[in-house]
Each structure stands twice: as C-alpha cells, then as structure tokens.
Structure 1
Amino acid sequence: MKKFQQRAYKRRWAATTRHLKKQCRQSTLELESDDSEQENDTTSTPETVTKYMDAAETASCTAAGADNATYSGPDSDEPDENDADWRLIDHHVTLSSDSENESDSDCFEDHLSLWATEYNVKHNALDSLLKILKKFGHPDLPSTARTILNTAREVKTQVKSGMEYYYLGLGSELLKHFKMYPLHKRTQVNALEISLNIDGLPLFRSSGKTLWPVLCAIVNMKPTVVFPVALTCGTSMPIDLDFLMDTILDIKTVLQHGLHDGYSGCDKCCQRGEYFGRITYQEIENLVPRTDASFRSQTYAEHHYDGDPSPFCQLPIDMVKTFPVDYMHQVCLGTMKRLLLVWIRGKREVKHSADQIQQISDRLEGMRTTFPSTFARKPRSLKEIDRWKATEYRQFLLYTGKVVLRGILRPDLYDNFMTLSVAVSILVAPKLAETHMIDYAHQLLVHFVTQARNLYGVEFLVYNVHSSLHLADEVREHGSLDACAAFPFENFMHKMKKLVRSGKRPLAQVVKRLSERSKKTA
C-alpha cells in the first residue's frame, strides 16, 4: 500500500511539474514568441471579458493535469484567451513589491507554493525538494518551506471557555470564499444565506485533545463551500459559550453594514466600482468627491470596513485631503507597470511582437554607458520587467520611455502613453504646478483614462488607473506629487532592514542600532 501511494505521489508530481513548466514558459518567456506580430496602423477595439476565473479558482486548478487532483473550490467556467491575459497582468501587478529593495516572486516559485499547498506536502519534504531545485537550475528559490509558503512565524492564541482559541474572522472569510464563485453565479444573488456548525473533533487516540471549530457554509450557492471561522482546542468540552462571542459580534456587523467588498474603495470619490473580471471604475468625469464631513459621519457606510471610526478621526485634520494618493504605488508600480505588461503580455490587439520588445530593450540597454549618475538605477531590459523597482518605472515614465518607444510602439498607444507622461511630468515639478498648469495636467489625465479604456478595454480601468484622475487635486493640496510620495520612506525602510543582523529578537536589534546612531549625532 505504501509503495502504491509513493508511485501515485510521483505521478502527481511529474504531471504537476509538466504543468508548471508550461505555465512558466507562457508567462516568463512570452518575449520569445513571434505569434503576435502587430502592424503600426492597427486600430484596437475594446472587448468585454465575459468569463473569469479569479486567483482562488486558479489555485485550485494549478495542478489540473495531476492524477486524482483534489477539488478545492466552486465550479467555474473555463476562461477564454483574453481572460488569461488579464489574469497574468493582474497577477504581476499584485506581486509588485511595495519596497524598492525587495525581490518579486517569480512564476515558478508561485506555482510551486500552490502545488505544495494543494497536495499538503510536508515541510521537510518541501525543504528537501528546494535544495535539489536550487542545486539544479533554480538558485533564486528560497531555502525553506516556511519562506516559500509564507508560514506565520508565530500564531497568537487566546484562552476562551477554558480552551486555546484563535479567531479567523467571519466577515473576511465569508467574503474570501464568496469571491471563489464564478462571476455569473455571484451576480445572481442579492443576499447570502449562511449556516453555522459547532462540533468536537478528537485529534488523537492516545489523548483527549479535541478541536472545536466554528464552521460556516454559504448554503444558497452551489456547490456549498465550508470554511472555519474560529478554532478552539482543549482536553474537554468548552466550559461556556464565550468562544462564540467574536463570531456573534461579526455576524451583527455584517448584518448592519454588509460585506466590505472593495467596490467603494476609492478614498477620494464616491464612485462605486463595476466588476469586469476585477473591480474597475468606469466613471471618468463629474466625480462626486468625498468630504471630511461625509467621512466622519460615515454617510457612505460601505466605504468603512466595520463601522468603527478611524483612530485618526480623533485628530483635527481633514480625513480626505490629509491622506494623499501616493503616485509611487498608484502610477509607477500601478499604471506604468500595467501598461508595460499589456504591451508585452496583453491581448492580441495591443500586444507587441518579441522583435519589437527586443528593440525597446536594446535601446534601454544602449543608454547604460551614458546614463547620468544622478539616477539611482541604470535602464534594464524589458526581459527583467518583473524585477523592476518603482524608481525604474518612474524613470521610464518620465524620461526614457518617450525615447525608446518612439517608432516601435503603435502610434495610438504611443500617443496615449505620452499623454500620461506629460501630465505626470507637470505634476511632479513644483514650478510647473505654480504656473497654473495643473488644470491642463488634469485634462491630459482625463484624456489618458478615456483613451486607455478605448484602447485596452474596460478591464484596464482598475483602481490604480482610476487614481490618476485625483492626482491634480493632490498637487493643489500638497504642492507636487513628489512632496507626498512614498519614495523617501521606502528608502529608509531599506536602511532599517540592514540594522537586523540575525533572526533573534529583530525588533530589539533595530532599537539598539537606532540608539547607537542617536548617540553619535547627539
């Protein structure tokens, strides 16, 4: 029996490995394909995504070629080619590191993590596999299973009802599992009906250790998916019902305020998003702004997560204007990266050939020898796009892009890019902002978003792109985009990381190093 299980395990691993290699070739070696030659005078037409499989469904289907693959999510329709393109782009934009100095996860690492989770691979087995992969062709992979799986280093539990207790959260878990269902099923329901179950589960024959989970199920959608809300463990039954209080309070909050679904996620305007395979914001002009008064009174309840006021409300500040749109994340790591990925890996109508992408890369690398030393980084090839940092996207948007794209990128796409480049160039320069060019920059951004929807489709107008429409207001309030950007903070985060020398009490190490430096400057 044991040998049979080993053979079955090896078959699943071989099939999954083939699937992973295929996925990696499609996503990371896309530049080698010449199947999508584009003519410069081609006009693109927007297409609406009609089918979509989100990340959770993708995770459950990653090892679809494996024998006896375990089903882990609701049924879903097969995505069409355009859906796959947008999921790949969304995936890489999401994986963009907020920090200027952290590495991006590559495709193979992500799929390996999904495989290990799907088949419940033990950590020691995965540790051994990682050592082999690092030795034979994958030196950049993590060394341990805990790293690749993002295993929590510490689980903080409480004591309730005489037992060890951990609460996962009803609202967050309910929303997460609801999003696993295909779009056409989600749009057919106006309310969710849930069922709760509590029962004891003996863990070992040799002891009385028993797990008492609070389980939840969405019963008015098929197939029914069961998930834990709270976990309780002890050697006997709970001595009281105190372990249910968090769940009850969470149910009360959900009944009063509904689920925070991200459709009202914009901090600057009251627009409610629309779902086209992802949450998008289709309104471009005549946006209704949020105000300090409406925020404090929670006029738009779905914009507030749990109904509790923000702790910042205790301060005498404007709760909308005081929190600016950070263009490092929204424009550089958001819109600019999204544009590049669309040109490289997007839909056939706007995707450029491998030869064209190579020409752009050659131009970028050709600048390295004469690039000014005032720039922190020299231009890199588009083959390394997944490892670009925010400063490199900023550099491309404001300086190099307009040069290396000219004559290669399709003319209508190039004009659209230049609209964004000129607008942001105005808004990052305080002197230009002082010359009353802010209104002109806003007009350019409105034109950019409008044309981007026509060129790339409604799916392109995600929150990052929508945020561009609020950049001019941020400059009016703060002086320039650089005056309220996260770049200096990210740089300091890197300095703080260098203060940690070992894994033992990292926080204490940082405090000590900062104390040493403060004595030198005193």
Structure 2
Amino acid sequence: MSVYKIKDQLRKSVESKQPTVHFYCETCQIEIPAGENRCQHCDESSVLEYHNLDVEQQIKDLFKDEHFCKLVMKETESSKDGQLADIRDGSEYRKLLCDQSDFQPSNTVQLSFLLNTDGVAVYSSSKKGSLWPVYLAINELPIALRFSRRYLLPCLLFCQSEKPNMQTYLASLMQTLDRFQKGIEIDTFLGKKFVKGLLLAVCVDLPARAMVLNMKQFNGKYGCNVCHAEGETQPNCPLHRYYPVGESSQRTHKSMVNDVRTAVQSGQAVRGMKGGSALLALKHVDLSKICPIDWMHCVLLGVVKALLKLWLCPSHKNRSFYIGDKIALMDRRLLHIQVPDFIARQPSSIAEHAHWKATECREWLIHFSIPVLRGLLKYPVSVHYFLLVYAMSLLTKEVVTVEDISVAEDMLTDFCTVFPDIYGELVMLLSLIANHFQSKIMEICII
C-alpha cells in the first residue's frame, strides 16, 4: 500500500476530506506558516510536515451517536476490593477521575484517554522512511469496543524519512487535550454535556517512550524511566547496557522535572533526561507514572524471544541451557498439540521463532512452552523459566488479585536475580527488569 492510500484510508476513517497539515523547520523545530518553504527564524529550507486529523471534532461526532453516549455515560461497577480487571481499577484512574466526580456538575461527562504511537515501516516502493500514527483510545468504553476500528481515534500522522521530534509533533495534540482537561461543551445525542478528558497513560515501546519523555534510550545511561539505575556495560560490548538487580532510587515527577530544568540550563542530559517533554503541557501528568509497562514488547517480544534465541542458537552449544539440537523433538510436540477454541491460531514451527508475532509468543509462554520443554531444559534452567511462566500467567488473568501481584513480584525478582548466573550479565537487558511490575500494575494495571 502506498503512502497516499494509507493517508486516504485515515481520512475516510475520520470522515474528513482533508486533514490540517502542519509544517515545521527540521533544524529549530519552529512551526512554519503554510505556503512558505523556508524558516524565517533560522533561514533553513529543510521543512518537515505532519497531518492533524482533528481528534476534537471526532469526539464531538461520536457524541452524536446514541450508542456511544450510553456506553460512556453508563455507571460501571468497580471490581471488588483487592481485584484488578481493567485500567479503571488502577489507583491512578481512581485518583484522577473518581476523586473528581463528586465535585463535577450533574451534566459533566468524564473521559480518560490512552495514547499510543509507534513507527511503521513503509514498503520499499515508497521513498518515505516510516509512518508514525498517533492514536487515542477512550477508557470508558467496554474493553471489547475500546480498540475497535469504530472507536479508536487517529489523531496525527507523520511520514518522513526521519523520525519525528515528539516535542514538536505532539504539541498540537497536547493543546487539544489541555482543552478537554478544562472541559468542552458538546451537543450530544442526550443534550448538551460538559465533556472533560484526561490523558491517563501513554503506552509505547521503549524507543518511542524515550522519544515521548525526551530521555535517553534503554541502552544509554539512566535509560529506565522508573528508577535512577545507571546500568552497566562491559568493555568488549559497550553498546549493550545491562541492569543488575539491586536497590536504586525511584523516579518521581518532581525529580524528573528538576532534571529537565538542569538539562535545559546546561545543555546536557541529566540522569537520562535530555529536555522538556510535550506531556508537560498537561498539568495533571506525572512523568514517572504516565508510561505503564507494556508487556507485549517487554516480555513477549523481549524476554521470550531472547530466551528462545539463547536456547536454540548454535553459538551457545557448549552452555548448559542449549537445546538447539532438540528442535525436531520440540516441533513434534508443539505441532501435535490439540489447540483449544480460546486460542485463535495454530502454533507454528519452533524453527520460525524469530518471525513469531506477539500473539504466538504469548501462546507459547502461557500455554505451550511447559509441556513442549518437559525433560529438555536442565535443572535449574527449567525451574528458572517456570518462574517467568507462572508469574506472567498470574498477571494476565482476566481478574488479577493483590495476592497474585505479590506472588508474581517475588517470582519475577527471583527470575531477574538468578538470570545472570545462568545466562551471563551481558544479556541482562532492560527488558528483563521486573522489579517495577508490582507498583506499576497496582497503579494502572498491566497493558
């Protein structure tokens, strides 16, 4: 599909003939009026662009629909105390929204948003580099509809050979969200309503998280957005940074803002923070909590794929965890499993693990891996791996209890502590840091 067709599809999805195009200078990042091909500030001629799909109007259009109005205005029953079944059961949601509801006028509708963005590779036939769409999901919708094509809101679209500067790219969206934070009067199907909306979470992978927060990446010093761990490198592999399990002070919003101020004044990164984030335009945002743990990239596409590569790669044939010579046996076991109805797709060959999608990694981790690996992984490698399987099976249940989280935290801590003893410190990457799971899940539930 060409870039033009992708943009055309997005226009149709928001029923807009033409989105607003924003131009800005690649050098100084200042917005340039339409029709001008040179920056008046620095006299540079390199101009980038992105498309604004007017999410405010999209939300107003949704409120004209009777079904949508009833869904978001419906009183929802909270889970029982000590249980987490949705993002709305997390402490951050309750603090930001539920605590405010008692002080709102009767005609107020309170919404919360989940923001997502990621780079999408464009086909080689296009001269452009990558697409960076930005979406908002409305958390008050039922889970089954929240991420459906009908209700997922495309906000911005960037398509250039370079990656976007998120502070410039997200600026117009932050202005819209700031208006919703204060409240907007909307003519809905059920009459005039005062609609307020808060950005609750930004769910992105590690590279995009660094771009959004304007901090160093996971392979740089202080690359963790939760704590102040500096990480360590080895002389023979300076580009890989690992994070030994240990105590480190937790980041807070105040500490991150102070680091941002110092970084802006000095022109150098301070404890990983390189400068201000576009998210700081929203007064309620806590930079230390706004990005929840994304288990798809962290665990499924991170830890699970890393372990499979370690077990099966011939370069590790002299290590105790190597089982690459047993791929044929693993395939026989895996491909003969009678898959139950609740699993959407049949398992594929273990030899194709490098090309597995996140759903395949999930089914392997939670359902298939233990019976397939039985008797193949040596002790203590098998017991160590079981810690991860059991912990993640507890955390990905439809309803997670506080007790489940406590047990999973202990298991993940043990998993991380023992990991370098089995596999070596060099592969102890940021995606294996699991001692942040408990607080993050209690705050916002696992995404």
The TM-score, its normalising length taken from structure 1, stands at 0.41
Name the structure with the higher helix share. 1
The TM-score, its normalising length taken from structure 2, stands at 0.48
Name the structure with the higher strand share. 2
Which one has the largest radius of gyration?
A: 1
